[in-house]
Amino acid sequence: MASIQKKNNKYCVVYYCKDIEGKRKQKWETYDTKNEAKIRKAEIELKEKKAVLSYRTVRRCRI
C-alpha cells in the first residue's frame, strides 16, 4: 500500500518493496503535483496486487 505525503510544496509517494535479497525497503518518489502523485500511487498499488497473485503461483515477488 502506498501513501502520499506533502513536503515543501511537492508530493511524495511512499511505499515498501522487496529487494533482490527479499528485504523490505522503503521507497520515496517525488512529484510536482498531487495529481501526478495519485497516478503513480495507483500504478504502484496495481503492481502490488499483480505481484501478490504471481507470488502465490510462482513463490517469487518483485515490483
pLDDT tens digits for range 30-59: 999 999 999 999 999 998 888 764 544 444
47 within a domain of the structure (yes/no) = yes
63 within a domain of the structure (yes/no) = no
17 within a domain of the structure (yes/no) = yes
Number of folded domains that form the chain: 1
Looking only at the bridges linking them, the beta strands covering 10-18 and 24-31 are: antiparallel
> Residue 27 pLDDT more than 50?
yes
Confidence at residue 5, expressed as pLDDT on a 0 to 100 scale: 96
Confidence at residue 48, expressed as pLDDT on a 0 to 100 scale: 85
Share of the chain above pLDDT 90, in %: 52
> Residue 29 pLDDT more than 60?
yes
13 within a domain of the structure (yes/no) = yes
- Residue 15 corresponds to which cell in the numbers above? 511505499
18 within a domain of the structure (yes/no) = yes
Q: What is the mean pLDDT of the chain?
A: 83
Q: Tell me the residue ranges of DSSP E strands in the chain.
A: 3-7, 10-18, 24-31
